Structure 1
Amino acid sequence: MRYLQFTLFVVFSLLMTMGVADDKKNDKPMSHEEMMEVYTKLATPGEPHKLFASLTGSWITKTKEWMDPQKPAVESAGSADIKLLLGGRFLQQEITSSMHGKPYSGIWTIAYDNLLKQYVSTWIDNMSTQIFMMNGTASADGKTITLTGQHAEVGGGYMAHRAIWKIVDGNAQEFTMYGTHHGGDEMKMLEVIYTRK
């Protein structure tokens, strides 16, 4: 309960700061009721979340992975179970596949943040203890989402990533990821084709 109270205090403080900055012309601080109204609007799922809802269900995945751009891709088949979380505010993809001949599973959670006006995602899997985060924007129709992020690499430094998630329609998706190792050239690392079961 104390954690919830602290979290709400922080959110309200941030909203108050925003309200004060927006209302500087009027020199009128935002009231508690006005803050609650803004908070309620920000918590309400919008158009991006409706698109998320159209993707729920079971999917077949076909993955190609490149460790070296000069060599053929390693291919694998898998599945994705996609569901909404917390009243349609977040989309979760639970992926089951194989990687380097070993069972592979991961969870991708993606959100559209109404306050930041951007997409935010996290990825966790059974081959790492890292939480990989990316954020980005969508095309005008909302169906092509470009995300960027980075993660720490073995041997030092960070790998930069760029991902393009295309929602072709309610029965097809494509996810492509590019990466840059140790400041080198960007290369295509991953391609996942989703087909609804």
Structure 2
Amino acid sequence: MKMSYRVGGLLAAIVCLTNPVFAKDAGTAAASASTKESTKDSAQARALDSAMTPGEGQKRLAAMIGTFNVAIRTWVDPSQPPIESSATSVGAWVLGERYVQMMLAGDLQGQPFNGIGYIGFDNVGKQYQSTWMDSGSTGMTWYKGGFDASGKSATMKGSVPDALTGKPTPVELRVKMNDDGGHVTELWGHGLGKKMFKMMELRYTRSK
């Protein structure tokens, strides 16, 4: 009896494979699966292309490209007058106009001061990202945020370790684009107090 069941099962399988109706259904199922896989591959390709292609988010940073004279004001104590200094900054596209590189050189409180920063727009995360490093520190600061509806003001948030405690403290980078092609960058933080205040202002005036 067991042998009969096995033979019967084998015959049924052969009938299914050789019957035109069953063969047609099998072919249709295979074609459908292939179409779904092709659609999935196309969607992935479009998503990857969108993720890597510069667009409107990057174009908004074009105002930062060029050579600028920078007037720097620094506050150690918000109740006291700021310390004033100057620098030159060069902004340039890098990696196929995906990011802006900012190279700053000048003086701060009578000492040479140099900084390097990058800013770009993440097409997938839909937000701006920036990093900054300079000769006044050994740590890099990372910021994330976006522009307001006007497209001329941006607020980006990050954190830095407190020099005394080592604990992370929030900082904000506030950027304002001017109609004359320049821009103003403000660094806000807590300093030695609990209330956030403007610690540094960099006013960029286009020279080239």
Deviation digits for residues 56-98 of structure 1 (CA, Å, limit 9, x no counterpart)? 1110000100001121100011111000111111011111121
TM-score (norm 1): 0.80
Residues 85 and 109, structure 2, Cα contact 8 Å, conserved in 1 = no
Matched residue, 1:67: 76
**Match for residue 150 of structure 1 among 141, 147, 159:** 159
Normalized per residue, which structure has more helix?
Answer: 2
Deviation digits for residues 81-139 of structure 1 (CA, Å, limit 9, x no counterpart)? 00011111101111112122210111110011111101110001122221100111111
- 1:29–1:64 CA distance, 2 compared to 1 (3 A): farther
1:131 aligns with 2:151: no
Once superposed, what is the RMSD of the aligned Cα atoms?
2.0
For the residues of structure 1 that align with 2:192 and 2:81, how far apart are their CA atoms? 22
1:86 aligns with 2:95: yes
For the residues of structure 2 that align with 1:79 and 1:148, how far apart are their CA atoms? 25
Q: Sequence identity of aligned pairs in percent?
A: 29
Matched residue, 1:173: 183
Matched residue, 1:53: 62
Matched residue, 2:22: none
Residues 145 and 165, structure 1, Cα contact 8 Å, conserved in 2 = yes
**TM-superposed deviation, 1:141:** 2.8
Deviation digits for residues 2-49 of structure 1 (CA, Å, limit 9, x no counterpart)? xxxxxxxxxxxxxxxxxxxxxxxxx99973332121010111111121
Matched residue, 1:3: none
1:160 aligns with 2:166: no
Matched residue, 2:124: 115
Structure 2 portions without partners, runs of 5+: 1-35
Matched residue, 1:190: 200
What secondary structure, in the 3-state scheme, does the structure 2 residue paired with 1:92 have? strand
Structure 1 portions without partners, runs of 5+: 1-26
For the residues of structure 1 that align with 2:40 and 2:193, how far apart are their CA atoms? 49
Residues 62 and 77, structure 1, Cα contact 8 Å, conserved in 2 = yes
